[in-house]
Amino acid sequence: MITRLVPHPILSATLTLVWLGLVNKVTLGNLLLGAMLGLAIPMLTAAYWPNRPRLRKPMVAARYIGMVLWDIVIANVEVAMIILFKRRDEVHSQWIVIPLDLTSPEAITWLAGTITLTPGTVSATLSADASSILVHCLHTDDPGDVRDTIKARYEAPLKEIFP
Amino acid sequence: MTVIAEILVSFFLVVGGIFGLVGSFGLLKLRTTMQRLHSPTKATTLGVGGVLIASMLYFLLVGGTLSFHELLITLFLFLTAPITAHFIAKTYMARNLKPTDLPETGRDLGWAIYDDAPGSGTD
């Protein structure tokens, strides 16, 4: 009964918080309206998430988000340094192929988004069976090292979060 | 408005401005489309981030109210930036690159731009 009424508790909480943020004022009326939206939208869209994976370890997920936010700051400085101080012909861009151990579409989406936001890499496409990801690296002389870093730093925690 | 608040707000505004400028300069300097893709997805994120932090600090220290809009802008920015970059990368690859320009997948099937997913013809 509860799972039918609230099929997606995290989405409900997120929607309520986003609504409160949008109106930018916490009052009882806004809270109720936000909660109504938070309950109605997941119920109406539940059919579109058939095999939704459960978020197993919220603490690992929170630490992952914090780590990625910090890496984004580092990434910005690194890319800015490359843009400002490297000569055009010194920028060695490479394609990197990363074989994936993740299987759920949600986990791969997280990984692809993380790769695009962090140090000098943009995720470009997946292989047709979603078992490898193609990454474009702005500047590297050691593609193997970049691949190992992404697998250890981002894919390993994602495997814990989405088992 | 105290001097400390003024210094803090202007510091973040200047940092944001510098990163925005560097990101836009990257569009001019880098050579290929894939390289140019890096500069708006990274350097500009921190540029916008700096301005948003400055805005939050301003409303907190001067207006005395906590503003959530900046957090939402950050959230939406982080959701949309990778997706936009992904679209641009895929369009560029489909129009300008051949499968032989890219490295092998190391798996049975090729990249999704050129090969269909297994079983996609049947269902």
Q: For residues A151 and A93, is the Cβ–Cβ distance under 8 A?
A: no
pLDDT at residue A4 in the model: 64
Task: Please state, for a pLDDT cut of 70, what percent of chain A lies above it.
Answer: 90
What pLDDT, in 10s, does the model give residues B49-81? 888 888 888 888 887 777 778 888 888 887 888
The string of pLDDT tens digits covering residues A100-117 is 888 888 888 888 888 888
Q: Which residues of B touch A76 (CB under 8 A)?
A: 19, 42-43, 45-46
Enumerate the domain spans of chain A. Answer: 2-48, 58-161
pLDDT at position A128: 76
Mean pLDDT within B29-54: 80
Tell me the pLDDT of chain A averaged across its residues: 81
Q: Which pLDDT band holds residue A68 (cuts at 50, 70, 90)?
A: confident
pLDDT score recorded for residue B122? 46
Select the residue of A21, A75, A76 nearest B71 (Cβ to Cβ).
A21
Average pLDDT for residues A58-76, to the nearest whole number? 84
- Alpha-carbon gap, residue B75 to A67, rounded angstroms: 16
Q: Choose the weakest-confidence range: A35-39, A74-78, B96-100.
A: B96-100
Q: How far apart are CA A29 and CA A20, in angstroms?
A: 10
How many CB atoms sit inside 10 A of residue B35's CB?
A: 21
| pTM of the shown model | 0.78
- B-chain residue closest to A97, CA distance: B105
Half-sphere exposure at residue B35, Cβ-oriented, CA atoms within 13 angstroms: 21
Quote the Cα angle for A111-A116-A120, to 5°: 125
ipTM: 0.74
Name the pLDDT band for B11 (thresholds 50, 70, 90): very high
Which CATH fold topology does A58-161 show? Alpha-Beta Plaits (3.30.70)
Cβ within 8 Å, pair A21-B69: yes
DSSP state of A47: G
Choose, out of A93, A132, A135, the residue to mutate when testing the contact with B (most B CBs < 10 Å).
Answer: A132
**Domain ranges for chain B:** 3-96
Please tell me the predicted confidence (pLDDT) of residue A115. 86
